[in-house]
Structures are given as structure tokens and as C-alpha cells.
């Protein structure tokens, strides 16, 4: 029972991370194409500036849960996926540095360098996360000794690349909606119009990924054995359909919320379909690291569950306060009054 609870916490942590940091990645990818002036560039950066590092707390949480609750799976995951995970880390560092450094020198050349770093540090993690999760859904070439019988290029299979395309498509749609929430006037109109177009990208990549999921993985079969979880893809579809309708009605917060639900439910669909596998083996299912054969001792899981129940509400409360406090529109007046990027 404890192992199942921790598996659920693990999946929820990843879903919340992708839901929240997804709009940061999407805005970073759209940055070179949406912002036309330095003022608009600053608005884009400041629309995600107060949130991005708090959003990454959930990445640390997901990694921490894997390490503490499922140490054997953690060791296997970080061994098999070492190269993409290190590239992900460097991409996140590059993005964080670009936020802080682009405004330090009054030089167009200086800012262009860090603007390029912001783009690379956004699209690279999105691609890597999509590729990594797709391979985890399908299973990777892990042998009975826990050794990965492959390399980076093994992970760049058709299904892995489809996962990358899906993540990028979902994130850019999510990011455009967030910009519509945080801006006004012409920039908001452009963001909303772009979001309406990117909805077709998100829809197309989602359909492609779900179709390939039926071919390359056992997720659908696993969920059919636990039909209650079929509500997750259903909710994802409803949220994706509702988002552009709310956007066209001028309810930008509602549209962005629906996009959040789409990403979270899609992630939870994948995690639920994996259960009990955390790192599945496509060589032999017996070689897989599951929630049961890779878990910490029952005493450890009990103690950590108590810690989570005490401190997680504080994290959620603080992050909620941040979104309320900085949820206002960002414009030239705000940039002049508040210390920003």
C-alpha cells in the first residue's frame, strides 16, 4: 500500500511540474518569434520571471521522491538516462542564467546572446523531457544486471521523437495562453491569435502521440485493466477542447487553466499506464524496476510520508501566494515601477 501511495505522489509531482514549468518552456521557445521590441522582450521575460524557479521546485520534488522512495529505480534511471538528464540539467541552468544576465549590460549584442540562450534553454529541456518520458512509457533496454544496453541514439527512436514533438507542441500552446493572461493590448491580441493557431499543433501532436502509444507501449492495455483511470485521457481531451473556446470568449485564465488540466491529465495517463513500472525493461519485463521491487523500507516510506504531509501544504500555499501576488498584467508601467528582469 505504501509503495502505491508513493508511486501516486511520484506521478503527481511530475504532472504538476510539467503543468507549471511547461508554460515557461513554451514562452522561451516562442520568445524569438513573439517579441518584436526590447519592451516586449522584457514583458515576456517578466511574465515568467517570478514563477520559473518556483515551478522547478516540483522537478526537485519529483527527483527527490524517486531518490528517497525508489532508490533502486533512481539508480537505474540516472544510469540509463544519464546523458539526456545531464543535457536537461545544463539546459535548465542555461535558461536560469539567461533570465538574470540579459539585462546586466546595455548592449544589443549582449542581449541577443542571452536571448538565444533562453530559447535553447527552453526548447532543449522540452525535447529531452518528451523523449525521456516516451522511452519510459515504452520501456528501455535494461538487462537483468540493471545495465542499459543502448546509448543516446537508442532513445531517439520514432516513439521517443514523437514524445518530444508532443511536449513541444503542448508547451508552446500553453505558453502562448500564459502570455495572453499576463499582457494586454496588441501583444495580448497576438498571443491569443497565436494560441488559437497553436491549438491545432497541440491537437495534432497529441493525436499522433496517443496513436503511437497504442503501437509502441502497453499503456492502453494496462488502463483497460483498471478502467477507472480511463477518465484521465477523457479529461485531457475535454480540457484541450475547452481551452480555445474559453480563449475566444475572452476568459484567458480559464483557457490557461484548461491547458494546465490537459497537460496534467496527459502526464497522469502515462504514469497510471506504467504502474507498477518506474523504469520498464523492453528486453524482459522481469528486469523492470517497479514500485515494489525498488522501494525503500516500509519504515522509511512511513517517515517520509509524514514529512510530505507536513511540508507539502506549505509549499503549495507559498506557490499559490506567488501566483496571486504576481498574477497581474505586465506592461511598460509595471516594468518602470517594479524591479524586474
What pLDDT band is residue 215 in, cutting at 50, 70 and 90? very high
pLDDT per residue as tens digits for the range 261-285: 999 999 999 999 999 999 888 877 8
| Under 8 Å between Cβ of 71 and 296 | yes
Q: In this model, does residue 147 exceed pLDDT 90?
A: no
pLDDT of residue 164: 96
Instruction: Return mean pLDDT, the chain.
Output: 91
Residues near 61 by beta carbon (within 8 Å), at least 6 away in sequence: 13, 17, 315
pLDDT of residue 152: 79
CA distance 26 to 39: 19
pLDDT per residue as tens digits for the range 42-59: 999 999 988 888 899 999
Q: In this model, does residue 191 exceed pLDDT 90?
A: yes
- For residues 294-316, average pLDDT: 90
Q: Which residues are registered as beta bridge partners of 289?
A: 279
- For residues 141-164, average pLDDT: 87
pLDDT of residue 125: 95
SS3 content of the chain, % helix, strand, coil (to 5): 80, 5, 20
- For residues 81-94, average pLDDT: 91
pLDDT per residue as tens digits for the range 307-320: 888 888 988 999 99
Q: In this model, does residue 24 exceed pLDDT 80?
A: yes
What pLDDT band is residue 332 in, cutting at 50, 70 and 90? confident
What are the chain's domains?
2-337 (1.20.1630.10)
What pLDDT band is residue 227 in, cutting at 50, 70 and 90? confident
Instruction: Quote the pTM value.
Output: 0.94
Q: In this model, does residue 75 exceed pLDDT 80?
A: yes
Count of beta carbons in the 10 Å neighbourhood of residue 260: 22
Q: In this model, does residue 104 exceed pLDDT 90?
A: no
What pLDDT band is residue 151 in, cutting at 50, 70 and 90? confident
The vertex-337 CA angle with 336 and 338, nearest 5°, equals: 100
Radius of gyration of the chain (CA): 20
CA distance 102 to 334: 19
CA distance 125 to 127: 5
pLDDT of residue 8: 94
Q: Which three cell numbers mark 100?
A: 538574470
| Under 8 Å between Cβ of 160 and 192 | no
Segment holding 60, helix H or strand E: helix 57-69
Q: 149-153, 226-230, 248-252: which has the minimum mean pLDDT?
A: 149-153
Look at residues 133, 129, 108 and name the one whose alpha carbon lies nearest to residue 26: 129
- Give the long-range contacts of residues 37-44, CB within 8 A, separation 24 or more: 38/111, 39/332, 39/335, 40/187, 41/111, 41/115, 42/103, 42/335, 42/340, 42/341, 43/182, 43/183, 43/187, 43/330, 43/331, 43/332, 43/335, 44/179
What pLDDT band is residue 287 in, cutting at 50, 70 and 90? confident
DSSP for 103-119 reads TSS--HHHHHHHHHHHH
What pLDDT band is residue 26 in, cutting at 50, 70 and 90? very high
DSSP character for 56? T
CA distance 256 to 192: 11
- For residues 188-208, average pLDDT: 94
Q: In this model, does residue 77 exceed pLDDT 80?
A: yes
What pLDDT band is residue 205 in, cutting at 50, 70 and 90? very high
What pLDDT band is residue 13 in, cutting at 50, 70 and 90? very high
CA distance 112 to 101: 11
- For residues 168-187, average pLDDT: 94
Count of beta carbons in the 10 Å neighbourhood of residue 72: 16
Amino acid at each position: 500500500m505504501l509503495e502505491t501511495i508513493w508511486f501516486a505522489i511520484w506521478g503527481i509531482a511530475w504532472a504538476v511540474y510539467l503543468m507549471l514549468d511547461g508554460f515557461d518552456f513554451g514562452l522561451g521557445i516562442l520568445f524569438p518569434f513573439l517579441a518584436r521590441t526590447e519592451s516586449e522582450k522584457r514583458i515576456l521575460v517578466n511574465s515568467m520571471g517570478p514563477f520559473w524557479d518556483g515551478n522547478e521546485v516540483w522537478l526537485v520534488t519529483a527527483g527527490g521522491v524517486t531518490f528517497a522512495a525508489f532508490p533502486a529505480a533512481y539508480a537505474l534511471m540516472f544510469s540509463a538516462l544519464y546523458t539526456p538528464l545531464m543535457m536537461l540539467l545544463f539546459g535548465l541552468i542555461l535558461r536560469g542564467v539567461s533570465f538574470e544576465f540579459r539585462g546586466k549590460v546595455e548592449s544589443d549584442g549582449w542581449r541577443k546572446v542571452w536571448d538565444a540562450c533562453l530559447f535553447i534553454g527552453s526548447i532543449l529541456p522540452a525535447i529531452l523531457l518528451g523523449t525521456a518520458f516516451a522511452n519510459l512509457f515504452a520501456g528501455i533496454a535494461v538487462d537483468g544486471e540493471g545495465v542499459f544496453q543502448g546509448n543516446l541514439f537508442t532513445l531517439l527512436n520514432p516513439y521517443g521523437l514523437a514524445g518530444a514533438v508532443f511536449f513541444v507542441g503542448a508547451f508552446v500552446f500553453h505558453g502562448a495562453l500564459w502570455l495572453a493572461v499576463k499582457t494586454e493590448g496588441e501583444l495580448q491580441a497576438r498571443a491569443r491569435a497565436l494560441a488559437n493557431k497553436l491549438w491545432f499543433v497541440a491537437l495534432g501532436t497529441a493525436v499522433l502521440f496517443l496513436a503511437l502509444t497504442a503501437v509502441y507501449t502497453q499503456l492502453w492495455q494496462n488502463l483497460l485493466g483498471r478502467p477507472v483511470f480511463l477518465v484521465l485521457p477523457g479529461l485531457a481531451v475535454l480540457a484541450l477542447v475547452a481551452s480555445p473556446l474559453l480563449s475566444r470568449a475572452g476568459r484567458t485564465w480559464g483557457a490557461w487553466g484548461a491547458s494546465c488540466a490537459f497537460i496534467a491529465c496527459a502526464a497522469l495517463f502515462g504514469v497510471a499506464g506504467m504502474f507498477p513500472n518506474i523504469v520498464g525493461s523492453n528486453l524482459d519485463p522481469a528486469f523492470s524496476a517497479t514500485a515494489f521491487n525498488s522501494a525503500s523500507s516500509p519504515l522509511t516510506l512511513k517517515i517520509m510520508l509524514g514529512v510530505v504531509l507536513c511540508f507539502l501544504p506549505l509549499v503549495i500555499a507559498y506557490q499559490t501566494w506567488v501566483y496571486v501576488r504576481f498574477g497581474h498584467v505586465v506592461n511598460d508601467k509595471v516594468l518602470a515601477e517594479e524591479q524586474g528582469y
